[in-house]
């Protein structure tokens, strides 16, 4: 017998290819509610066929927070626990049972494991906690994009668990074109919000608007609310990336040094410095920074973690750098590790063969 009544809610538009997989994952809930914002395919038909409660409503002008709130409004007041997901997300089975074990009446929101990006073997590449499971009453969604849940009934009580995992399998064909204008709107509505200022600067970087990225992220760093060192470090790294694209390498290095000073416990700024030094063929510096990065064993669950900091990239950088520094033994050792971490990569395998051949030739000549 379940202790709580659980309802899943979501928004959708033209996602017929995800419907069955999503409903299969979400049907551990008591009810599923979807606000469809204008599908022209068979999304609505397929959802209704699977027993999902569907309402159609066009949101104009488009804002994610308005759409999320409209979807939350579909959830009856007698639902105890609300679970917000998207149709390209899948819970690992047994999530409802784990939720029942964890939840109690004093909890307002749950943080749980989210694999935002996975490789072709379903191995997590980017993993962090999200918190879209919440009490029915007291929450609204705010911000036009990168929307967040805001509690209006006093102090939240959050609980963290690793026993519930949601996997993200994004639709690569979907456009992100609305994100930039919505982020600009979000910053205009709340110019002191550090989170969306960071997101806006990052979005300018994605669009190749290097100067806008630099200006916006410097602005982010000067905001009173911008105190989270991990995100500040990311802003500094993105500024450095933009200066690299502008071929202003000294400024890029300066900002990466700032990023290291800001969060010396994170691998990412060291690896980014290693990548820049590799680009500039400064191989001794590559070894210096990448070696420092590898001394950091902790892999925190943060959305800003870079996959290249924890995959084969550091060892690949060391293998090539040691090769050019004529330390073939260390080159070989690191090339072996890189290949073991990504055995399907032909470039890594070819590098290993070249390094091995160079070692043999050196041994023969000696």
Q: Pairing relation of β-strands 53-56 and 124-135?
A: unpaired
Q: What is the pLDDT of residue 326?
A: 95
Q: What is the pLDDT of residue 186?
A: 96
CATH superfamily of 6-168: Spore Coat Polysaccharide Biosynthesis Protein SpsA; Chain A (3.90.550.10)
Nearest 5°: phi and psi at 110?
A: -120, 135
Report whether 276 contacts 244 (CB < 8 A): yes
Q: What is the pLDDT of residue 111?
A: 97
Per-residue pLDDT tens over the stretch 183-212: 999 999 999 999 999 999 999 999 999 999
Q: What is the pLDDT of residue 13?
A: 96
Q: Residues with Cβ < 8 Å from 219, sequence gap 6 or more?
A: 197, 201
Q: What is the pLDDT of residue 300?
A: 87
Report whether 96 contacts 19 (CB < 8 A): no
Q: What is the pLDDT of residue 42?
A: 97
β-bridge mates for residue 158, sequence order: 109
Structure tokens at 105: 């009446």
Identify the segments of the chain with pLDDT beneath 50: none
Q: What is the pLDDT of residue 2?
A: 77
CATH number of the domain at 179-365, please?
Answer: 1.25.40.10
Q: What is the pLDDT of residue 172?
A: 79
What is the C-alpha to C-alpha distance for residues 36 and 153, in angstroms, rounded to an integer?
A: 29
Domain ranges of the chain: 6-168, 179-365
Report whether 141 contacts 72 (CB < 8 A): yes
Q: What is the pLDDT of residue 1?
A: 65
Q: What is the pLDDT of residue 366?
A: 67
At CA 15, angle to CA 13 and CA 19, rounded to 5?
Answer: 125
294: left (phi over 0), alpha (psi -120 to 50) or beta: alpha
With 0-12 / 13-18 / 19 or more C-beta atoms within 10 angstroms meaning exposed / middle / buried, residue 19 is buried
β-bridge mates for residue 126, sequence order: 117
What is the C-alpha to C-alpha distance for residues 92 and 298, in angstroms, rounded to an integer?
A: 25
Q: What is the pLDDT of residue 308?
A: 95
With 0-12 / 13-18 / 19 or more C-beta atoms within 10 angstroms meaning exposed / middle / buried, residue 76 is exposed
List, as one string, the DSSP characters of 189-252.
H-TT-HHHHHHHHHHHHHTT-HHHHHHHHHHHHHSTT---HHHHHHHHHHHHHHHHHTT-HHHH
Residue given tokens 């068979």 in the structure block: 42
Q: Pairing relation of β-strands 81-84 and 89-91?
A: unpaired
Structure tokens at 311: 């995959």
């Amino acid at each position: 017998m379940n202790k709580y009544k659980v309802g899943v809610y979501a928004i959708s538009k033209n996602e017929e290819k995800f419907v069955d997989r999503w409903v299969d994952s979400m049907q551990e809930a008591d009810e599923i509610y979807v606000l469809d914002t204008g599908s022209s395919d068979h999304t609505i038909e397929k959802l209704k066929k699977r027993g999902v409660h569907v309402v159609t409503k066009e949101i104009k002008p488009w804002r994610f927070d308005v759409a999320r709130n409209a979807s939350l409004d579909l959830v009856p007041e007698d639902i105890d626990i609300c679970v917000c997901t998207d149709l390209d997300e899948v819970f690992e089975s047994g999530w409802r049972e784990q939720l029942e074990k964890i939840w109690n009446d004093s909890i307002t929101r749950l943080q749980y494991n989210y694999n935002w990006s996975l490789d072709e073997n379903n191995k997590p590449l980017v993993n962090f906690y999200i918190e879209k499971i919440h009490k029915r009453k007291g929450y609204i969604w705010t911000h036009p994009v990168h929307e967040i849940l805001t509690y209006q009934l006093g102090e939240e009580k959050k609980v963290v668990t690793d026993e519930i995992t949601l996997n993200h399998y994004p639709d690569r064909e979907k456009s992100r074109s609305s994100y930039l204008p919505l982020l600009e709107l979000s910053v205009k509505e709340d110019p002191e919000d550090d989170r969306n200022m960071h997101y806006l600067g990052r979005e300018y970087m994605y669009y190749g608007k290097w100067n806008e990225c630099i200006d916006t992220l410097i602005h982010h760093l000067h905001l009173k609310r911008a105190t989270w060192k991990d995100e500040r470090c990311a802003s500094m790294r993105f500024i450095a990336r933009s200066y690299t694209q502008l071929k202003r390498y000294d400024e890029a290095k300066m900002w990466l040094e700032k990023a290291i000073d800001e969060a010396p416990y994170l691998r990412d700024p060291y690896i980014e410095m290693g990548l820049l030094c590799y680009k500039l063929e400064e191989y001794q510096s590559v070894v210096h920074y990448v070696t420092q990065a590898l001394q950091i064993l902790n892999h925190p669950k943060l959305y800003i973690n870079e996959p290249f900091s924890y995959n084969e990239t550091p060892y690949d950088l060391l293998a090539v750098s040691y090769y050019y520094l004529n330390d073939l033994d260390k080159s070989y050792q690191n090339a072996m590790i890189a290949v073991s971490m990504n055995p399907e990569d032909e470039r890594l395998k070819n590098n290993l063969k070249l390094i091995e051949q160079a070692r043999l030739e050196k041994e023969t000549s000696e």
